């Protein structure tokens, strides 16, 4: 972010099963072309939380980055306003938000 200090939080130690889960997740995403090696000067710890199904949910601790972010000056548009602005358009785009991305 222009004008802000770098937000760097070192990764803390994780149990081996969490490290394996994170490595497997990002290896699969990298092979699929969904992620690449980061070139960002910012870094945040990653860890896992157990889901009720027994699987792991990957979580990123963006606390420092969130604190450095300038709040939006405009409100998020309402659904009816978005639909009105889309009327008459020919091309639409959608982002797949699978796994929280």
Alpha helix segments (H runs only) across the chain: 16-31, 63-68, 79-86
For residue 34, the 8-state DSSP code is S
Per-residue pLDDT of the chain (101 residues; tens, 9 = 90+): 556 677 888 888 999 999 999 999 999 999 999 989 888 888 889 999 999 999 999 999 888 888 887 777 777 778 788 778 878 877 766 654 555 54
User: What are the C-alpha distances in Å from 97 to residues 18, 22, 73?
Assistant: 22, 18, 25
């Amino acid at each position: 972010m222009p004008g802000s200090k770098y937000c760097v939080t070192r990764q803390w130690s994780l149990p081996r099963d969490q490290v394996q889960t994170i490595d497997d997740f990002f290896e699969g995403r990298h092979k699929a072309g969904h992620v690449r090696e980061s070139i960002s000067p910012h870094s945040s710890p990653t860890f896992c939380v157990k889901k009720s199904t027994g699987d792991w949910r990957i979580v990123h601790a963006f606390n420092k980055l969130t604190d450095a972010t300038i709040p939006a000056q405009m409100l998020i548009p309402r659904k009816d306003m978005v639909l009105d602005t889309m009327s008459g358009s020919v091309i639409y785009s959608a982002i797949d938000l699978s796994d929280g991305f």
